[in-house]
Copies of this chain bind each other. A is one copy, B any other.
């Protein structure tokens, strides 16, 4: 599928609602469980998505669209949520995410990016040259990847409870 802002918006707009549906009525056992070690819980993932809204997608888009001489992105902090989410409830984080996302999509829509603007380039500190289109398409896949991750983290809590079905439920073996 070729990237189109209008198509991408369909996914980006549903994510806060999907996370609310998936997580709002769960007890803490589901919300704070992870895949062991340093892996992330649903709570951690929502905090990470908030940090992306604040520092990744739109700020990086603005760097590319700016008149700056060197359009190099700030490195992204993958661990910011551990400090930022401290003392907050999941309910609070879900609302914070919803508000930031709504504001960012309003802004994206207001830009009415042309095909020419979608092909403008910036510099990712590790990946090198990337385009607006690639940045915005990544935003979509990143949302969906984290919805899948949260589903997997929760499913795995029952890995030892499903008996012989473990070999049929492929998410338990990822």
Contact-residue bracket for chain A: 35 or more
Interface segment among A62-70, A84-92, A102-110, A132-140: the answer is A132-140
**Is A165 part of the contact surface with B, judged by Cβ < 8 Å?**
yes
**Is A21 part of the contact surface with B, judged by Cβ < 8 Å?**
yes
Give complex CA distance A93, B130 in Å: 40
Partner of A144 from B10, B29, B152 at Cβ < 8 Å = B152
- Could you write out 28 A-B pairs with CB less than 8 Å apart? A1-B157, A1-B161, A2-B161, A3-B161, A7-B27, A10-B27, A18-B18, A22-B147, A124-B164, A127-B165, A130-B164, A134-B161, A134-B162, A137-B161, A138-B162, A138-B168, A141-B159, A141-B165, A141-B169, A141-B172, A142-B169, A144-B152, A144-B155, A145-B169, A145-B170, A145-B171, A147-B147, A148-B152
**Is A111 part of the contact surface with B, judged by Cβ < 8 Å?**
no
A82: which B residues are within 8 A, CB to CB? Answer: none
- Contacts from A to B (Cβ < 8 Å): 1-3, 7, 10-11, 13-14, 17-18, 20-27, 29-30, 33, 124, 127-128, 130-131, 133-135, 137-138, 140-142, 144-145, 147-149, 151-152, 154-155, 157-159, 161-165, 168-172, 174
- Let me know if B33 and A10 touch, CB within 8 A: no
Chain B proximity of A156: nearest CB distance (Å): 8
Give complex CA distance A161, B138 in Å: 8
A133: which B residues are within 8 A, CB to CB? Answer: 161
Known: A130-B163, A141-B172, A169-B141. A25 touches B29 (CB 8 A): no
